[in-house]
Amino acid sequence: MDPAYAMMDAQSLGLRLDEVLHKFATREEDNSDDARLLADIAGLTEVIDKMISPSLSAASEAAENEAMVSLPVKTLEELRFLGCACWNMTVRHVSREDSREEQTLKASLREFATKAFLLGNYAYASSDVSHSYFTQHPREAEQCVLMCLKTSRDLSLCGVAGSAKRLLSLGESVASYIQTGVQNSLAYIKHRNMRWEFAYTAMDINWNVTHYKESCEAAKKLTQMLLQDRDLRRDHREAFFRFVFTIGNGGVLTSDEQYIRDMLHSSMEMQNHFQRAGTNDPSYHVMILRGATMEQMALSWLREEKATEALSWAVEADTTLHSNTSALLRLTATAKAGMEPEAIVLLHQYVQRSDVSVDDAVAACFELHNLLVSRKDGSIEGMRLLYKKTKGNTCSESVLFRFVQLLLHNGSLASCKEALQILQNEGIDFEETRYRRYCFVWLWELADMAGFSPLQIVECLESALQFKDCASEAEVDAIYLRLCTEYITQSEGGGQTSVVLMKAKNILVDYASHRNPKCVFAHSLLIKIAVLESNEVELEKELNLLLLCEPTELVMPALCTAINYSLRIGYLPGVSLVITRAVFFSAPVPDPSTELELLRVYVASLLSKACNCTDDQLRVVTERFRSLLSDECATISLSHEEVSWWAQAFLVLGLEFTVGPGPTSVYLFRAATFIALQDPVPGEVPSRTFLISGLLCTLEDEFQLFSTGIPQIDSCELEEHLRLCKEFVSSLPEVNYRLTVLLSQAERHLRQPSSETPEQIQRILDELSNISVTFEDYEAIANGASFIALKYASEHPFLHGVTIKLYMQAVSVAMNEISTSMKDADNNAEKCLEYITDAFSCLYKCFTLAFDRTEQLTVVQRLMEILSLAVEDVTVASLIKDYHSNTVRTVNNHPLSFARLFLEYFTVEAWNNSVFYLHLTETVKQTQWVHVAWTLVDILPETSSVASALHALKAITSV
């Protein structure tokens, strides 16, 4: 208890009550806190409870008497006054809102008022004192009884079971003190049967506080009282019937439904009794009450989902009442009991009744449709009967609308087709905006019906546009786009292709012309139309417009759709146009698998020569493909068939779509090798073949690029390729495979120079001597070595010697070729000159690589060997000389012009070196160089400016 209430006397209690009652009376104007007011009332009630008993938890009768004796008479008078004042306040000030909070406030105040009044009138005293007091004060007893009856019911409505029952019991005790003869003088209870009223109130409050079993027992007592006591008036009987009827319409937990049925049984028992005994009630009153009770019994069984038990009661109720409600209940119970044919018959009868409203009939059709399992068409037929009945009336539009709604709710193909037919015909004339809006939505949804033909889908969309006055602009646009899609789909199947396409094209062109930014969906459909028309100009135009559309996230999916569509139609030019833009468009691809498919289509288009590409584009495609399979991403994996396809594709691209060996070809061959290594079944012959081809093609082109000084593969990757070759290629018998591997090994040793490099190169040269190796191969090795020697001139000076040695080996091969071709010089003159020029070229490179004039002299001596090389009576020198004398002036790119150029170079260098040694007075070396110079002058033609200059110089010096 709040300390403020602990030591409160009657006077203080009155002052505090005045405050509380003021708050209660002005609570609406002051918008006061109901919770706070309720707490104040509870505090006041606790003070009264304290006065009633010192210990509420364990109060004895002696303690109560002692407490009562201790209260002064004046205090009791004040309590009676406070109780009356508080009670009157609850009567006068009633809120306009009958909320739960208001009921609780009123019940709490009345509890305080009743207890205070009872306490002031010795109701809590011993039975002797109470009996003596109330015998002498019957009016106070009457007032106590009435207050107990009303307050106990108010408390029960608020769920306060204990106080309600105690006050009712106390009121019944007080009522027993009123003598029979005195009752007639009391204004309020002289015409009332208090025994019956207390029994009725006990039944009422027990039901309110969910003590259903006790309430049912009280009801049985009331029933016996009504059956046995003929003095009870009709009002008592009607009150009981009214109470049972009220709770029959109420709701309880499913587990407590039996208590409602017990109450209904009690009511029917009483009805049967009075029907047999005969009453003055009109016969229709008895019939209505009996039928209503049976209806409630059926409803109770239905709420418990026991339809079979409910059906018998529903049939009896309908037989008794013959009303629309009883007919509907019988219909529902029949359907829930699984008697579908009977339920359908009842529905058809129900919708034809004249006392059934249209709304009730429609609701019955929908309810039965939900209840039926195998005969749902029966509810549809019922709605059809209702429509025929109301056709031409003001409500016919509403019925037709609900009929369509039921057909769509049924969802079968036949009902949806019927709904479409109605919407196309009668539905167009709907006037109410709400109905037209629903029709638009329904037709749009019907277009997605799985069983509809393409023509029916078009009909749905075209009909929906007739209701566009009830749709938003975005919705209408969506319908137009969908309709154009269906037009295009129809045109794919033949028939009136041009007419349908023209419809779609006109709609889309008009639609796209008013959109900024451009609409992805519209231009996607125009692309499809261009594909169907095989119009490359329109297709390219729409593709360019598609790339400008927003949002850009939708552009790439649209391009993918266009590719698939072109492939499905078989329009390969369209595929090449679209795929080129898709692959090189800047927007991101949705997922790796889609990107892989795009690259596959692009490569397939290249292989079929459907589109062109540059080296840069090939490298981009290859790089994107490799990134999809890299270890860092590891987003997708290829099957064996996919590996074979991609490896073969990159091999063909490298061989046929690049101009000779180059960075792009190496990149493509490397990709082919990389893919072949991804094969999930590497032991298969195709994958092994593609791997070997990729390795060899990569190494061949890489070596050619190395010979030009621009290798593409780093040393580590080259070494890995050679390791794979050792595993897969070295055992193969083909000489070309062995040659490729040896040349790549030479490249590896040259690019990773060490003290062992000369030895390794010599080993490779020894192995090359055992197979057929051309001059070009040796020259390529030497050319690559020359770049390496220049790069590592300071770190590894020995590489110059290795390079010269390689060039000399090339010269040796060239000399062999020269000897062979000179045997048939008449037929191989041109070829012989080419070999001579090749040999001179190598010697020239050696000469430029030589560290000093001694090494240069060695190179020149090798030149002299070549010139003195003879077959029968013909030497190389005489062959060149004769060729000069017998041939007209050659063009610049003729082999002889290059040979003469090299000879002139060596002549000038030999003369300069002779002059150098002349100054040094080294006669031997000077003589060697002079001999070389004049030997070469003799071979040069007279028209050579170098020869003429030296002859003139000789003439001057001899003078």
Q: How far apart are CA 48 and CA 8, in angstroms?
A: 10
Q: Can you tell me the distance from the alpha carbon of 34 to that of 108, in angstroms, rounded to the nearest whole number?
A: 12
User: Which amino acid would we find at residue 563?
Assistant: I
Structural tokens at position 609: 């020569």
Cα dihedral 663, 669, 673, 676 sign: positive
Indicate the burial class of 96 (C-beta count within 10 angstroms; 0-12, 13-18, 19 or more): exposed
Residue 772 C-beta-side C-alpha neighbours within 13 Å: 4
The residue among 160, 178, 171 whose CA lies nearest residue 197 is: 171
CB 581 within 8 A of CB 558: no
Q: Is 634 left (phi over 0), alpha (psi -120 to 50) or beta?
A: left
At 406 the pLDDT is 94
- Residues 91 and 636: their CA atoms lie apart, in Å, by 83
Contact criterion met (CB below 8 Å) for 348 and 382: yes
Residue 61 phi, psi dihedral angles, 5° rounding: -65, -35
Q: Give 97's contacts (C-beta < 8 A, 6+ positions apart).
A: none
Contacts with 954 (C-beta within 8 Å, 6 or more apart), sequence order: none
pLDDT of residue 335: 93
CB 782 within 8 A of CB 814: no
- Rounded to an integer, what distance in angstroms lies between the CA atom of residue 558 and that of residue 418? 36
Which SS3 state, helix, strand or coil, does residue 477 take? Answer: helix
For residue 325, which of 286, 364, 376 has the smallest C-alpha distance? Answer: 364
Q: Are 407 and 427 in contact (CB under 8 A)?
A: no
Backbone φ and ψ of 229, nearest 5°:
-95, 105
Of 842, 952, 935, 841, the closest CA to residue 897 belongs to 841
Report the alpha-carbon distance of residue 539 to residue 545 in Å, rounded.
Answer: 10
Report which DSSP code applies to 466: G
Contact 947, 940 (CB under 8 A): yes
Looking at residue 314, what is its pLDDT? Answer: 94
- For residue 558, what is the DSSP state? H
Tokens at 958, concatenated: 């001899």
Cβ atoms 344, 375 nearer than 8 A: yes
As a whole number of angstroms, the distance between CA 575 and CA 582 comes to 10
870 forms bridges with which residues in the sheet?
875
Neighbours of 511 (CB within 10 A): 18
**Helices (DSSP H) in 73-137: which residue ranges?**
73-92, 100-120, 127-136
Q: For residues 47 and 119, is the Cβ–Cβ distance under 8 A?
A: no
Site of tokens 């019988």: 330
CA distance 511 to 515: 7
Angle between helical axes of 923-939 and 945-958 (0-180°, round to 10): 130
Q: What are phi and psi of 216, to 5 degrees?
A: -65, -40
In SS3 terms, 205-264 reads as HHHHCCCHHHHHHHHHHHHHHHHHCCCCCHHHHHHHHHHHHHHHHCCCCHHHHHHHHHHH
Classify burial at 822, counting beta carbons within 10 Å of its beta carbon; exposed 0-12, middle 13-18, buried 19 or more: buried
Run of H or E residues at 817: helix 798-822
How many whole angstroms separate alpha carbon 347 and alpha carbon 207?
37
Q: Is the pTM of this model over 0.75?
A: no
Residues in contact with 448: Cβ distance below 8 Å, sequence separation at least 6, in sequence order: none
The 3-class SS string of 893-927 reads: CCHHHHHHHHHHHHHHHHHHHHHHHHHCCCHHHHH
Q: Judge contact between 169 and 148, C-beta under 8 A.
A: no
Helices (H), 729-797: 735-751, 757-768, 775-791
Distances, alpha carbon 132 to alpha carbons 129, 540, 822, in Å: 5, 114, 163
Whole-angstrom distance, CA of residue 321 vs CA of residue 290: 9
Residues in the chain predicted with pLDDT less than 50, given as ranges, are 55-69, 888-891, 959
Contact 600, 633 (CB under 8 A): no
Rg of the chain on CA atoms, in Å: 58
pLDDT at 732: 63
Tell me the two tokens of residue 295: 């209806």
The domain locations on the chain are 1-192
Contacts of 186 (CB under 8 A, 6+ apart): 138, 139, 142, 178
Strand partners, 874: 871
pLDDT at 250: 80
Calpha distance 297→247 (Å, rounded): 12
pLDDT at 278: 65
- Strands 874-875, 870-871: pairing is antiparallel
